[in-house]
Amino acid sequence: MNKREAIRDLFRNWSAAVGLGLIILILAVALLGPRLAPHDPLIPSPLQRLKGPDSDHVFGTDSLGRDIFSRVIYGARISLMIGIISVSISLIPGTLLGLLSGYFGGWTDSIIMRTMDMLLAFPAILLAIFITAILEPNLTNTMMAVGLVYIPHYARIVRSSVLSLKEQLFVQAVAHLGGSHCRILLKHILPNCLPPIIVYATLGMGTAVLQAAALGFLGLGAQPPSPEWGAMLSEGRQYIQIAPHVAAFPGAAILILVLGFNLFGDGLRDVLDPSLRSQ
């Protein structure tokens, strides 16, 4: 399948099309934030606190009188940044470790995989909480913690692909012709590992946003007055009975973004996986 056919099949897949539409919507909101936001997301207005949605405040106001609509718009930038940076932190070292482990095998494989197994033994959210608590609760450390937690997942995915690819005739032919290990890995094995990596990275963006929101909800993520969606949920939970809009709209934003990444990732998997295309 060439690139043109892959793109055509991708847009024909309803899951990928809907997911991509949701992602583009959030991306547009993030890029146009200053123009779309009617109010400053950080300036409080005590006389306007906990107001319901109206013509001036479309999503209402929070406990400090800040416009929730403006805060949700600016929070889109933070959530997208969290997803991109967290996935990059886990993707690059995870791919490298998986390549080395699967290709060289032996002691290299044993040391890397046993280390990955140790990290996988801890629940992801608990390990992220542990890392964030040790460092310092802030947005930078949140992205680092979420990224480090998912390195083993990429390492295992890449390793499994490498184990099957290195037995292929084209790889063995390059080795017999004197191709270096670096050339074989980077030019012949890594390009054929990309489809599962791309799919998992897309799904991982949604997972990273959820993990960061969970840490923000626990007070270990972005700190006030940052308009991060998880932190906004945490601020609004105590007013859930008298002003449910304070938590509802940030929660809905998280839902839309994560749903977009999940649907797009599922669509990519359907298009890039040859076994699913043949069904």
**Cα separation of 262 and 236, whole Å?**
26
- Per DSSP, 225 falls in state T
CATH topology of domain 16-28+68-277: MetI-like fold (1.10.3720)
- pLDDT for 278 equals 42
The tokens of 137 are what?
A: 């609760």
What string of pLDDT tens digits covers the 279 residues of the chain? 566 776 777 778 888 999 999 999 999 999 998 899 999 999 999 999 999 999 999 999 999 999 999 999 999 999 999 999 999 999 999 999 999 999 998 999 999 999 999 999 888 888 899 888 888 888 899 999 999 999 999 999 999 999 989 888 888 888 888 888 898 998 989 998 998 999 999 999 999 999 999 998 888 888 888 899 999 998 898 899 999 999 999 999 999 999 999 999 998 888 876 554 544
The tokens of 42 are what?
A: 């950080």
Bridge partner residues of 61 (DSSP): 67
**Closest by alpha carbon to 188, among 171, 172, 173?**
171
Distances (CA, A) of 12 to 31, 103, 151, 195: 27, 36, 32, 18
- pLDDT for 279 equals 45
The tokens of 129 are what?
A: 């909480």
DSSP symbols for 57-92: STT-B-TT--BHHHHHHHHHHHHHHHHHHHHHHHHH
Contact 87, 201 (CB under 8 A): yes
The tokens of 161 are what?
A: 């692909």
Residue 116 burial by Cβ neighbours in a 10 Å radius (0-12, 13-18, 19+): buried
Q: What are phi and psi of 61, to 5 degrees?
A: -125, 160
Alpha-carbon Rg for the chain, nearest whole angstrom, is 22
Contact 16, 270 (CB under 8 A): yes
Say which residues have a Cβ less than 8 Å from residue 52's Cβ, sequence separation at least 6. Answer: 60, 243, 245
Distances (CA, A) of 197 to 23, 154, 247, 252: 19, 7, 34, 28
**Cα separation of 124 and 235, whole Å?**
24
The tokens of 77 are what?
A: 């930038």
Cβ atoms within 10 Å of 202's Cβ, excluding its own: 24
Domain ranges of the chain: 16-28+68-277
Cα 90 to its chain centre, rounded Å, is 10
